[in-house]
Amino acid sequence: MADQEDHKILKKIGVLGGMGPEATVLFMQKIIQSISAQDDSDHIPLIIDNNPQIPSRIKAIIDGDGEDPTDTLVAMAQGLQKFGAQALAMPCNTAHYYSKSIAKSVDIPFINMVDLASEHALSKVGANGSVGLLGSPALRIAGVYDKALKEKQLSPVYYDDETTLRALIERIKKQGPDEAIAKELSKITEKLIKQGADIVMICCSEFSLLSEKITPQSHIFDSLDALIHACHAYATGCEIK
């Protein structure tokens, strides 16, 4: 009986969410789907701070006139630790610009999606490969992925029409994901490949809402999936089967 009970003791993951709310729900859905559950107690326990009032990362990084979200993110991380989280995850790529401040503010691990996705890209294309970044223009401006990719001898490829990328993110936040946006993202993906990307990484959790509809699928992976795998491994002590 003791052995049967022990396998259900899973570590709690604290989630800094709300960036945006639908992307946070997607993260939760993928975590649930990652488990072959026989009962409620088989699932990974999540403590969610779904806070859509976090100051805009876009306005802070791109426009340069928005409120710095660091204090809010740090307060969320500390609150999640206080409520029993044993590790933290943040399903927002752009917000990883503030990841060092978040990680330093707590005594529990911060599961870094940028590092994980970069490692996965390396496994796909090998050293000296090029990775197209399908995400917010803030990623390039803040260099969110640059260091992690460089450490793995990978080169980022950015789409040259950043105004369109920002507009698509704003459309998803306002009206939700739809087929028209998926088609536009597919065209951008093809252009990134023509620009020299060996693989294209979906690195905006708003775009993750459409990840299964963006083509060509053979050249795409989602950074959010790398985070899901790591959270599953941390909470359960084993990889997703």
Tell me whether residue 204 is in a domain: yes
Residues 100 and 156 in one domain: no
pTM of the model: 0.93
pLDDT over 70 percentage in the chain: 96
Q: CB-based burial of residue 171 (10 Å sphere; 0-12 exposed, 13-18 middle, 19+ buried)?
A: middle
Cross-sheet strand order for the sheet of 46-50: 46-50, 13-17, 87-89, 110-111
Cross-sheet strand order for the sheet of 220-222: 155-158, 130-134, 199-202, 220-222
Q: What CATH code is carried by the domain that includes residue 166?
A: 3.40.50.1860
**81 and 11 in contact (C-beta within 8 Å)?**
no
- Count: domains in the chain: 2
| Band (213; pLDDT cuts 50, 70, 90) | very high
Selection from 27, 86, 47, 48 nearest residue 237 by Cα: 86
150 φ, ψ (degrees, to nearest 5): -60, -40
Tell me whether residue 52 is in a domain: yes
Residues 106 and 27 in one domain: yes
Per residue in 70-119, pLDDT tens?
A: 999 999 999 999 999 999 999 999 999 999 999 999 999 999 999 999 99
pLDDT at residue 57 greater than cutoff 80: yes
The secondary structure of 36-80 as a DSSP string is: --SSGGGSPPEEEEE-TTSPPHHIIIIIS-SPP-HHHHHHHHHHH
Tell me whether residue 37 is in a domain: yes
Residues 14 and 76 in one domain: yes
